[in-house]
Structure 1
Amino acid sequence: MSGEIVFNTGMVGYTETLTDPSYRGQILCFTYPSIGNYGVPSQQELDDFGLPKFFESERIQTRGLIVNNLSNVSSHWCCEKTLDQWLFEEKIPGVCDVDTRELTKKIRSNGVMNARIVMDKSENQDDESFDYDSYNFMPEVSISKPTYYGKELSPKIVLIDTGTKYSIIRNLLRLGFQVVRLPWDSSIDQVMAHNPAGVVLSNGPGDPIVCKETIETASKLIERSIPTLGICLGNQILALAGGAKTHKLKFGHRGQNKSCRDLFSEHTLITSQNHGYGIESESLDKTDFEIWFKNIDDQTVEGLKHLEKPIIAVQFHPEASPGPDDCLYVFDKFKDLVKAHKIVTP
């Protein structure tokens, strides 16, 4: 099994991490030395909104897993199976007893690269030519038809699904919205047909340039001044739609302890992140966006605000899961924008 090899610095949260669609096409290396000690909970346990309580999608999204010490003894009140059993059930290859910190040092020095987990030398070699950067993951991580969540009479938010996490839906429902989840390539007419109070562009895997249809729709959202929130990949898509450029980071940001500064409040927040691409800071100079957040470690762009229109975006995951909930207020700011800017339908 081949994929782009990346590392995550989180100590816990492997169930949420492995089911995050943003990891589609990647082999994940955990830097924390012991993984699996609290097992895997039931996928049948749902939250108050009917969404799986401990998972971010319906299946494991990574192509493979690399850990140092795999705990085969799991202890937790909601544990149903071990991590090893879960991987076996979903046919995801994994390797343990690897010096994952030494491997991480190689990735940090050389950058992310393609890798392959070989279980048997005679196995099929068909995916050796897999190219993560040019691959379009959208048909694999998005939905094929509209899906509805929440109460019908609530204000309606269209969620353009480029690989959304359940926690994004969960937080929109928490705010009292109804959510209409649409396929990644939905046109502006298909979006507006639902008479939304606002639009959210979700997280997801791969190079944002591949999402040409989503970028086109995002440009129309900007043109029409639709209240919009972009998250992770959605942040990059909005930037591209506004005339900025994106680039691939050397080894990306993946973990639950990434420090970002809100340039308006001057507060530093601990964020959950999972992305391999970023926005070129200088390219924003000729756009109508200004920088909202910056990464403390490398000064990369972590959030945007439109200068005039009700459009905001963040590169990190304000919904966390896993991770700290320092940035849940981003959803509240989006709600404020929705309330303050009523969409006038023609």
Structure 2
Amino acid sequence: MTNYSKLPAILLLEDGTVYHGKAAGKIGTTTGEICFNTGTTGYQEIFTDPSYYGQIMVTTNAHIGNYGITVNESESERIQIAGLVCKNYSVIYSRKMADSSIQKYFEDGNLVGISDIDTRSLVRHIRNKGAMNAIISSETSDVEELMQQLVKVPSMAGLELSSAVTTEQPYYYGNEDASHRVAVLDLGIKKNILRNFDTRKVYAKIFPAKTTFAEMEAWAPQGYFISNGPGDPAAMDYAVQTVKDILASDRPLFGICLGHQLLALANDIRTKKMFNGHRGINHPVKNVIIDRCEITSQNHGFGVVAEDIKNSDKVEITHVNLNDKSIEGIRVKGKRAFSVQYHPESSPGPHDSRYLFDDFLTMLA
């Protein structure tokens, strides 16, 4: 790690709002859609979640880096966020089992960030103005120059990003002698989803995002899983067709987050970009089928159109968000297919929703 010193840095939002702070991580410039996560722990899992690809993350927890970085807590093989905005950036860490400091981790991963920002003020601004692009720089403080770079950054709406984070080649996860075989369509999958399958005696074969149903079916799986991932689901016609083909085969299907949105699209239900997404580990959701509430881990900037679902004769609602009444889960009528908008693997987060993996295994049986 280089000698860390707090050089000046600047954060510029698309609407012209400017924040001045100190450099964190690599010295440089980065752009992306700015969003915030309200979780009080699990920053490394957030940094490495492929669903955050192309986004600048604002952490509302005051201290980032204070327990260091541990290799086996990553959700993918690299840092996925485009940049970090935080209040207190701690190069010194207290956890003995940690492998490195956050500064070394960011330098090795080429991550540009900014600290010493009033994140409370910033989050209130984003909540009022909605999602927008932003730029962080510790190379220049010329606002006009940075704005010229920023206006060239495309909106997240309409972007297909799963092909940028998916595996390049199929691979296996779990015990080959396990009692269940599941084909996984990797649109940006988190490692803890695969760990949850493995602990339930599932042998998984993980396929690249643009793999066809016929290619996956050749492996003779008992069921299919459609993963989480980044970008706009409406820009993923190839994946929608794959989901339609799985439904036509009448195989069991389980989708999480982006997988949920694709299951909706495959049933003629539109998706939309949210004014502000759901990102945190304390979102209350009600399972309306069994009349039970659960606290959930969430990360999404797109959602399904509630009116389309309510008017649909193909799907029914299974889960509803208790904060804003958005649709958090559906199942397809007459099919063994269901999905949820949130993350039942909950890493980080409470484990209230892990029963959904067991429900899927029941379908496989």
Instruction: Provide the TM-score with structure 2 as the length reference.
Output: 0.87
Measure the CA separation in 2 of the matches of 1:263 and 1:246. Answer: 21
**Partner residue of 2:165?**
141
TM-aligned CA deviation for residue 143 of structure 1: 1.1
Measure the CA separation in 1 of the matches of 2:88 and 2:150. Answer: 28
**Partner residue of 2:18?**
none
**Partner residue of 1:46?**
none
Instruction: Give the letter aligned to residue 32 of structure 1.
Output: N
Measure the CA separation in 2 of the matches of 1:151 and 1:108. Answer: 45
Measure the CA separation in 1 of the matches of 2:75 and 2:241. Answer: 27
TM-aligned CA deviation for residue 185 of structure 1: 1.0
- Give structure 1 regions of 4+ aligned residues with deviation exceeding 4 angstroms: 122-128
Instruction: Give the letter aligned to residue 177 of structure 1.
Output: V
Does 1:156 find its partner at 2:181? yes
Residues 162-201 of structure 1: pairs in structure 2 closer than 5 A: 162-201=187-226
Instruction: Give the letter aligned to residue 37 of structure 1.
Output: N
Does 1:269 find its partner at 2:301? no
**Partner residue of 1:129?**
152
TM-aligned CA deviation for residue 135 of structure 1: 2.4
TM-aligned CA deviation for residue 62 of structure 1: 0.3
Contact 1:2-1:128 within 8 A present in 2 as well: no
TM-aligned CA deviation for residue 32 of structure 1: 1.2
Instruction: Give the letter aligned to residue 25 of structure 1.
Output: G
Residues 57-96 of structure 1: pairs in structure 2 closer than 5 A: 57-96=76-115
Measure the CA separation in 1 of the matches of 2:159 and 2:335. Answer: 33
Contact 2:163-2:210 within 8 A present in 1 as well: no
Instruction: Give the letter aligned to residue 303 of structure 1.
Output: G
Contact 1:242-1:287 within 8 A present in 2 as well: no
**Partner residue of 1:322?**
348
1:3-44 residue CA offsets vs partner (Å, 9 max, x unmatched): 000000011100111100000000000011111111111x2x
**Partner residue of 2:5?**
none
1:220-264 residue CA offsets vs partner (Å, 9 max, x unmatched): 111221100000000000000011111111110000000000001
Instruction: Give the letter aligned to residue 150 of structure 1.
Output: G
Contact 2:160-2:233 within 8 A present in 1 as well: no
Does 1:211 find its partner at 2:236? yes
Measure the CA separation in 1 of the matches of 2:149 and 2:171. Answer: 34
**Which shifted more, 116-125 or 294-303?**
116-125
Contact 2:31-2:135 within 8 A present in 1 as well: yes
Match of 1:116 among 132, 135, 140: 135
**Partner residue of 1:289?**
315
Measure the CA separation in 2 of the matches of 1:227 and 1:289. Answer: 15
**Partner residue of 2:41?**
12
Contact 1:208-1:236 within 8 A present in 2 as well: yes
TM-aligned CA deviation for residue 89 of structure 1: 1.3
Instruction: Give the letter aligned to residue 199 of structure 1.
Output: Y
TM-aligned CA deviation for residue 286 of structure 1: 2.2
Measure the CA separation in 2 of the matches of 1:317 and 1:26. Answer: 18
Contact 1:215-1:238 within 8 A present in 2 as well: yes
Instruction: Give the letter aligned to residue 338 of structure 1.
Output: L
Measure the CA separation in 1 of the matches of 2:242 and 2:102. Answer: 39
1:264-301 residue CA offsets vs partner (Å, 9 max, x unmatched): 11111000000001111111122411111000000000
Contact 1:222-1:242 within 8 A present in 2 as well: no
Match of 1:99 among 97, 105, 118: 118
Contact 2:271-2:305 within 8 A present in 1 as well: yes
Measure the CA separation in 2 of the matches of 1:58 and 1:90. Answer: 10
**Partner residue of 1:226?**
251
Does 1:306 find its partner at 2:332? yes
Gaps of 5+ in 1: 44-52, 340-346
Contact 1:160-1:202 within 8 A present in 2 as well: yes
Measure the CA separation in 2 of the matches of 1:113 and 1:333. Answer: 37
**Which shifted more, 119-128 or 26-35?**
119-128
**Partner residue of 2:265?**
240
Gaps of 5+ in 2: 1-29
1:25-71 residue CA offsets vs partner (Å, 9 max, x unmatched): 00000011111111111x2xxxxxxxxx3110001100000000112
Measure the CA separation in 2 of the matches of 1:110 and 1:234. Answer: 28
**Which shifted more, 136-145 or 320-329?**
136-145
TM-aligned CA deviation for residue 126 of structure 1: 6.2
TM-aligned CA deviation for residue 139 of structure 1: 2.2
What is the percent sequence identity of the aligned residues? 37
Q: Secondary structure at the match of 2:268?
A: coil
Measure the CA separation in 2 of the matches of 1:137 and 1:78. Answer: 34
